[in-house]
Structure 1
Amino acid sequence: MPTWANMLEFLKGDPAFFAKFVDMYPRFVLHRDVKQLIGVLLSTRSPDEGLFALPFPSPVAAHACADFISATPRTDGKDPLDPSTLSITSLNTTPPVTALFFPAARMMDVVPWWTITGRGLSSRAAEAALSSIANTPLAESPLPGPETPFTSPAHDALRARIAQLLNRAQRQGSPYVAAGDVHLYQTGMTAICAAHTALLHFRGTKTVMFNLPFHSTVHVFEYFGPGVQFFPLGTELAALETYLESEAAAGSPVQAIWTEIPSNPLLVTADLAALKALAMRFEAVLVVDDTIGSFANVDVLPEADVLVTSLTKSFSGYADVMGGNVVLNPSSKYYTYLATHFNGAMEEMFVADAETLLHNSADYLARTAVLNRNAQELAKYLSHRATLEGSSVTRVYYPQVAETKEHYEALMRPPTAEFTPGYGCLLSVEFTSVGAAKAFYDHLYVHNGPHLGAHLTLALPHPKALYDKELEEVREWGMKEEQIRISVGLEEVAELLITFMFALTKADEAEAARDLVKEKV
């Protein structure tokens, strides 16, 4: 989405526009290899049937999708599909693929499950399946039995690496994490779904989301389970305490409190010590998503019972593979219970994806140091621009300049000779008007899209792109159409500053022109 106009076309959801995409974030737009595999799957059916298909790594995932889209009523408010119009077929590919067939006309009622849960077949699994079809004619095969976790030496090595990184430069009170406490999933959203599903077995009551998370996270809580109470500012501790008291008094104590460190896209850091105290008092599980802070920089395990991370982001760092993890804190009072519910369900990371994550993350600390430095320099420069007379920049959102800076810094790992922690790769910048934000975005010659933590700098009008129909509501949370989210990459700092200077000049010019028109009027 290289221009504001492209983004507006994206928001319309026109299939003809989406057909122009070669590739995009795979949960949002089907990867080319997945599309090709779908074409092969559809070739096994008559065109007269008017079907479409989505491939999954297991029958369990395919059936979960079918159950959700045919439920009456559907928790996402969409019209349910007639179960008689759905069919599930396992195929003799390597790796095994299970296809869910459904009426093509209902595509937009099925895709939300794929997008929100992240449980669709990965592009590398699709590529491997296509290769196997070239050597063996495609045929149906009996549905396999209950799944066991996808395992390989790469999975084992990846778990060990994550555990080792969590055990380095720990804060006081942080536990030793064994590789067996690390659970791997095919996407970050699948990791969130897995953790939430396990917690539903724990108590089956409402979830609290404390601060702004990734857009799809709240939908997981809304669509799967009894619901969510949302505290979007990440600072409403008194209101949270009152809510927890009322739920406990009503006999339905909250099952879990979730927070992201820091929030997305406003980079607010919740007071994790205070959340831990409330979680202990009301016997709720505290779940922390540290994707944006990144566990190279922050250590949340002295407080968190459960850690969730999207490995797709800065851990991988090269925007070419997806993955997620859930880490159970062995010192948590809930550890024994939770461990029994993390028994392989949804752990369907394809072997080649595990191998790629292992390869990419070999330089995780070195890359994170550069991401930290570049983002810090850019935030410093943008903050300076905000102080200049006539500047179109009004505010910068970054953990180091946030009002909640002390909460973030309390979670930072101690510096070592190997690595000094920083404030992460993500920041947001706010402009005086939508026109200035548009001019900035249209002239900011970096990559564009919803990803973050990559080797290349990425920009996105995050509130507009993800909350277009809710802009009035989210403005009360601090998100505005005038904001652009920036995920800073590994480019040279001087190169980045020159790129941003040019775009900021265009934003200033647009704002000056707007002021001139207002004067004439």
Structure 2
Amino acid sequence: MTDGFATRAIHAGQEPDPTTGSVITPIHATSTYAQDGVGNQRQGYEYSRTGNPTRSALEECLASLEGGKYGRAFASGMSATDAVLRATLRPGDHLIIPDDAYGGTFRLIDKVLTGWGIDYTPAPVTDVDAVRAAIRPNTKVIWTETPTNPLLNIADLPALAQLAHDTTTRLVVDNTFASPHLQQPLEFGASIVVHSTTKYLGGHSDVVGGAVITSDDEIADQVAFLQNTAGAVPGPFDAWLTLRGLKTLAVRMERHSRNAENLVAALRDHPKVARVFYPGLEDHPGHQVAAKQMRHFGGMVSFTHVDGEQAALDACARTRLFTLAESLGGVESLIEHPGRMTHASTAGSLLQVPAELIRVSVGIEESEDLVTDLLSALE
């Protein structure tokens, strides 16, 4: 019998230390390892850029939670994204990205990869026919987020995976918003999953990291090669903090989702809210798809202010419990203005976000307190 998700989050890759019996994975704070003769490494470790036991424990746990064979940990979500793009693309290749992709992903592709001969097309990942129409003979990757950041659109993962299979492209899914507790893209046919582990996986806003998970042997080898060669790896303490965060991921995601649902119910009928973006709403265009491929609908909520950009900025500045800050997925609630903050790099592009948009990362505080705080800020 396969252990359940919450059990694997606590135990996968985390057997008691064989030397001391420590039930918590030790922080192996070392840069190098003694060898028992030239090329005779103990347990395969030679240098901590290449491999570290604390990082190995994290990578095994990440792979288990996403249902993959291989996990690779990185120093940030963007370094994980960069490694995947460099492993799957060559000069002259083309990829498809969401037309509301995360600003950092857009910036990397638009400002860096295009300089190396990579071309891209934004497309609505909610529309499989539109994605199909964007595919060219040199298209190698369909990159998607679901829910997307910040408009919380939903991609039909089985349909996109079938499209990728039929066109010999690879489907890559940034699963940061959902977390593997709510959604496991490999199960639906994705080739690669990417995470900013800074967010829900770490869960406490105290560590920056990224991850790549796949069951493809070739991709795993290529990503591991780049991980070692480029060296964007997490230190052992960062790996340990992320591993600690994973232990409570299941219970946190349940609370994040429940608090978000309560907040959405309060926002829907508020006179200062023009529109709420949340896949848990029955009238959300992607609700039915999300209900099939997600356990719950997550802790991210976006909405637009009826009075425009300045009113949205003012509301962001008036909250007490929602901290005005970038990032997401921590135990504390955060609020931000995407157009001026996380998605400023999309200004003037096809991916520019609405100026009146507010994005909140709903934490695990008392639900009633969060509702009161945000409604007060709007009023």
Q: Please give the TM-score of this superposition, normalised by the length of structure 2.
A: 0.79
Distance 1:206 1:372 in 2: 36
- Superposition pairs for residues 73-88 of structure 1, below 5 Å? none
Distance 2:310 2:98 in 1: 32
> What is the identity, as a one-letter code, of the residue corresponding to 1:184?
A
Match of 1:490 in 2: 364
Match of 2:339 in 1: 463
- Superposition pairs for residues 86-485 of structure 1, below 5 Å? 149-167=49-67, 177-178=68-69, 181-200=70-89, 205-222=93-110, 223-224=112-113, 225-244=116-135, 247-248=136-137, 253-301=138-186, 302-329=188-215, 335-347=216-228, 348-385=233-270, 391-401=271-281, 402-412=284-294, 421-432=295-306, 433-445=308-320, 446-468=322-344, 471=347, 473=349, 479-485=353-359
> What is the identity, as a one-letter code, of the residue corresponding to 1:459?
I
Contact 1:209 1:259 survives alignment (8 Å)? yes
Cα distance change of structure 1 residues 362 and 339 upon mapping to structure 2, 3 Å threshold: closer
Distance 1:328 1:235 in 2: 23
> What is the identity, as a one-letter code, of the residue corresponding to 2:202?
S
Distance 1:152 1:336 in 2: 21
Contact 1:192 1:308 survives alignment (8 Å)? yes
Match of 2:17 in 1: none
> What is the identity, as a one-letter code, of the residue corresponding to 1:368?
M
Q: Deviations over 1:440-461 (max 9, x none)?
A: 2221222111110011110111
> What is the identity, as a one-letter code, of the residue corresponding to 1:209?
I
> What is the identity, as a one-letter code, of the residue corresponding to 1:395?
R
Q: Deviations over 1:45-97 (max 9, x none)?
A: xxxxxxxxxxxxxxxxxxxxxxxxxxxxxxxxxxxxxxxxxxxxxxxxx859x
Q: Does 1:504 align with 2:373?
A: no
More relative contact order, 1 or 2 (CA 8 Å, 6+ apart) = 2
Distance 1:160 1:293 in 2: 20
Identical positions, percent: 26
Distance 2:349 2:178 in 1: 26
Moved more, 310-319 or 221-230: 221-230
Q: Give 1:409 deviation, angstroms.
A: 1.9
Q: Deviations over 1:2-41 (max 9, x none)?
A: xxxxxxxxxxxxxxxxxxxxxxxxxxxxxxxxxxxxxxxx
Q: Which structure dedicates a bigger proportion of its chain to helix?
A: 1
Q: Aligned with 1:462: secondary structure?
A: coil
Aligned residues: 326
Distance 2:377 2:51 in 1: 47
> What is the identity, as a one-letter code, of the residue corresponding to 1:398?
Y
Q: Aligned with 1:464: secondary structure?
A: coil
- Superposition pairs for residues 29-68 of structure 1, below 5 Å? none
Cα distance change of structure 1 residues 393 and 267 upon mapping to structure 2, 3 Å threshold: same
> What is the identity, as a one-letter code, of the residue corresponding to 1:275?
L
Distance 1:363 1:486 in 2: 21
Q: Aligned with 2:297: secondary structure?
A: coil
Contact 1:187 1:322 survives alignment (8 Å)? yes
Q: Deviations over 1:254-302 (max 9, x none)?
A: 1111001110000001122221222112100110110001110012112
Contact 1:206 1:256 survives alignment (8 Å)? yes
Distance 1:393 1:153 in 2: 49
> What is the identity, as a one-letter code, of the residue corresponding to 1:440?
A
Q: Give 1:240 deviation, angstroms.
A: 2.6
Q: Deviations over 1:468-509 (max 9, x none)?
A: 5754545xx58211111101111100111111121121xxxx
Q: Give 1:313 deviation, angstroms.
A: 0.3
Cα distance change of structure 1 residues 234 and 243 upon mapping to structure 2, 3 Å threshold: closer
Q: Give 1:219 deviation, angstroms.
A: 2.6
Distance 2:243 2:313 in 1: 38
Distance 2:117 2:348 in 1: 26
